[in-house]
Amino acid sequence: MKRLVILVMGILLALAACQSDDQEQQVICNDCEGLFSEKMIMYVDNEMTKCPSNPDDLCIRVQFDTYEGDTAWVPFEQDICGFDYQPGYMYVLEIQRKKIDTDAEGNPIYKYCLLYIKSQTLEPMKK
Question: Which tens digit of pLDDT belongs to each residue from 114-126?
Answer: 999 999 999 887 7
What local confidence, expressed as pLDDT, does residue 21 receive? 41
Domain range for 82 is: 28-122
45 and 127 Cβ atoms separated by less than 8 Å: no
In a domain, 1, yes or no: no
Predicted TM-score (pTM) of this structure: 0.72
In a domain, 61, yes or no: yes
CA distances from 5 to 2, 9, 10, 125 (A): 5, 6, 9, 48
C-alpha neighbours within 13 Å on the C-beta side of residue 20: 6
- For 33-56, the DSSP string reads -STTEEEEEEEEEEEEEE-SS-TT
What local confidence, expressed as pLDDT, does residue 1 receive? 60
What local confidence, expressed as pLDDT, does residue 12 receive? 43
In a domain, 22, yes or no: no
Q: pLDDT for 59-83, tens place per residue?
A: 999 998 776 666 689 999 999 999 9
β-pairing, 58-64 vs 37-50, is antiparallel
Check whether 8 has a pLDDT greater than 70. Answer: no
Residue 25 binned pLDDT confidence (cut-offs 50, 70, 90): very low
Provide the residue type at 17 as one letter.
A
In a domain, 75, yes or no: yes
In a domain, 98, yes or no: yes
Taking all residues of the chain, what is their mean pLDDT, rounded to a whole number?
Answer: 79
Check whether 57 has a pLDDT greater than 70. Answer: yes
In the chain, how many domains are there? 1
120's CB contacts (< 8 A; 6+ apart) are 89, 90, 91
